[in-house]
């Protein structure tokens, strides 16, 4: 079966093994070690690492369309935010009468804005299964409509990138409006619980961290299954020679549309897992700058590798956490300089170093160290 094929790959086995060990190590150190120990992992750190894993899944989604399909999407932040808003709407409905105004149906911001009834598009979000379907359906449907119109019109290259950026910017402006019914500038926040578990407890935070690790593993395997299948080979052909692929009889727009929709759904899942861990979702997640930053993660880690996207997302966001506290005004300059240096000196990203290091190690292990050893 095509979905099980990635498990036979050495790279996939290593990635899943490292991810499993990392998640288990963090969980054990959080649960077992005493708080005063140097090895203790605090709840704050667990949440922070969970956020990094959400970003890693988002980076994998972008690498799927950019690395293997050749589509430089500058609007994946929109799919990420839509998944986050779908989860946020569910979490808001779970608050009930525990809000500031005590209304059992309307969220606090609607009461504050004098809304007298719940908008029709909020119905159903009091049920977990409906919300989880919308996490996939909302970004997937947007990608389907947008991709159908763009790919059918054969919009490619920089023009497609600009259109994706315009899409996320338009959504950001729309969600900033209070009359949209999504909290306006403040967004959705003050969440209480998820699936009956209090979000403020350490157990819920650890559970979300583990769930994010599982989602990253599943998303990675799905992407590897796609790129190692015939569909993946056709995708690469579309990336390298789209006109020739059309000439051979392939429906290029259908391949592009399918991969684009799958990528958008994965981004939506990443956004849905991100929201309960950070405790807020607002229109800033639609920012075009955020979508551009995602591309930088993929470029730094290594395009068309998937695991490189994970490496880039974790490294850059960890550096951002550190340097925004040390040099908050200079962080964006540091990020720009890092992107330029990687482009010049590491065109294949950090992942491009790994095959070279392996080859160098193999050559050194096979080469004799002296004439005596060669004779022996």
Q: What 3 state SS string does 278-343 have?
A: HCEECHHHHCHHHHHHHHHHHHHHCCCCCHHHHHHHHHHHHHHHHHHHHCCCCHHHHHHHHHHHHH
**C-alpha–C-alpha distance, residues 144 and 260, integer Å:** 8
356 three-state secondary structure: helix
Q: Which whole number is the average pLDDT over 116-141?
A: 95
The HSE-up count of residue 69 (CA atoms within 13 Å, CB side) is 28
Q: How confident is the model at residue 183 (pLDDT cuts 50, 70, 90)?
A: very high
198 three-state secondary structure: strand
- pTM metric for this prediction: 0.92
Beta-bridge partner residues of 66:
none
**C-alpha–C-alpha distance, residues 272 and 219, integer Å:** 14
Backbone angles phi, psi at 345, to 5 degrees: -100, -20
pLDDT at 356: 54
Containing H/E element for 189? strand 188-189
Containing H/E element for 227? helix 202-227
pLDDT at 339: 74
pLDDT at 1: 66
Angle at CA of residue 365, ends 362 and 366, nearest 5°: 85
Say if residues 213 and 19 touch (Cβ distance below 8 Å). yes
Residue 164 has pLDDT above 70, yes or no: yes
pLDDT at 134: 97
Tokens of 88: 């946020």
Nearest to 256 by CA among 270, 242, 268, 266: 242
Q: Which whole number is the average pLDDT over 103-115?
A: 91
Nearest to 246 by CA among 228, 234, 260: 234
pLDDT at 358: 47
Instruction: From residue 130, give the alpha-carbon distance in Å to each of 119, 124, 366.
Output: 16, 6, 58
The predicted-structure confidence for 32-68, as pLDDT tens digits, reads as follows 999 888 899 999 999 999 999 999 999 999 999 999 9
Nearest to 293 by CA among 77, 60, 54, 48: 77
Range in 5-19, 86-100, 347-361 the model is least confident about: 347-361
Q: How confident is the model at residue 12 (pLDDT cuts 50, 70, 90)?
A: very high
pLDDT at 263: 97
């Amino acid at each position: 079966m095509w979905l099980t094929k990635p498990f036979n790959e050495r790279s996939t086995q290593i990635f899943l093994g490292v991810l499993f060990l990392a998640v288990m190590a963090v969980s054990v150190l959080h649960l077992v070690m005493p708080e005063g120990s140097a090895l203790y992992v605090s709840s704050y750190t667990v949440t922070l690492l969970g956020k990094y894993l959400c970003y890693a899944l988002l980076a994998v989604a972008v690498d799927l369309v950019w690395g293997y399909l050749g589509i430089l999407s500058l609007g994946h932040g929109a799919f990420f935010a839509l998944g986050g808003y779908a989860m946020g709407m569910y979490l808001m409905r779970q608050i009930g009468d525990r809000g500031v105004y005590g209304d059992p149906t309307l969220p606090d911001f609607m009461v504050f804005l004098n809304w007298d009834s719940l908008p029709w598009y909020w119905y159903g979000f009091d049920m977990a299964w409906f919300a989880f379907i919308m996490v996939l359906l909302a970004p997937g449907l947007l990608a389907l409509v947008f991709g159908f119109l763009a790919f059918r019109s054969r919009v490619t290259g920089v023009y497609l990138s600009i259109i994706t950026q315009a899409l996320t910017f338009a959504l950001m402006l729309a969600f900033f409006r209070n009359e949209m019914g999504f909290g306006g500038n403040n967004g959705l926040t003050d969440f209480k619980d998820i699936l009956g578990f209090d979000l403020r407890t350490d157990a819920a935070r650890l559970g979300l961290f583990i769930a994010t690790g599982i989602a990253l593993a599943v998303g990675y395997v799905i992407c590897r299954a796609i790129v190692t299948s015939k569909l993946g080979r056709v995708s690469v052909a579309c990336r390298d020679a789209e006109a020739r692929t059309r000439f051979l009889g392939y429906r290029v727009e259908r391949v592009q549309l399918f991969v684009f929709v799958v990528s958008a759904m994965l981004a939506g899942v990443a956004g849905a897992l991100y929201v309960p861990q950070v405790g807020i979702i607002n229109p800033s997640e639609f920012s075009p700058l955020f979508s551009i930053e995602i591309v930088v993660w993929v470029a730094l880690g290594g395009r068309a590798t998937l695991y490189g996207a994970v490496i880039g997302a974790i490294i850059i966001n960890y550096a951002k956490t550190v340097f925004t506290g040390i040099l908050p005004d200079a962080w964006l300059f540091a990020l720009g300089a890092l992107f330029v240096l990687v482009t010049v000196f590491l065109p294949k990203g950090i992942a491009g170093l790994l095959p070279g290091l392996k080859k160098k190690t193999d050559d050194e292990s096979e080469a004799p160290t002296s004439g005596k050893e060669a004779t022996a």
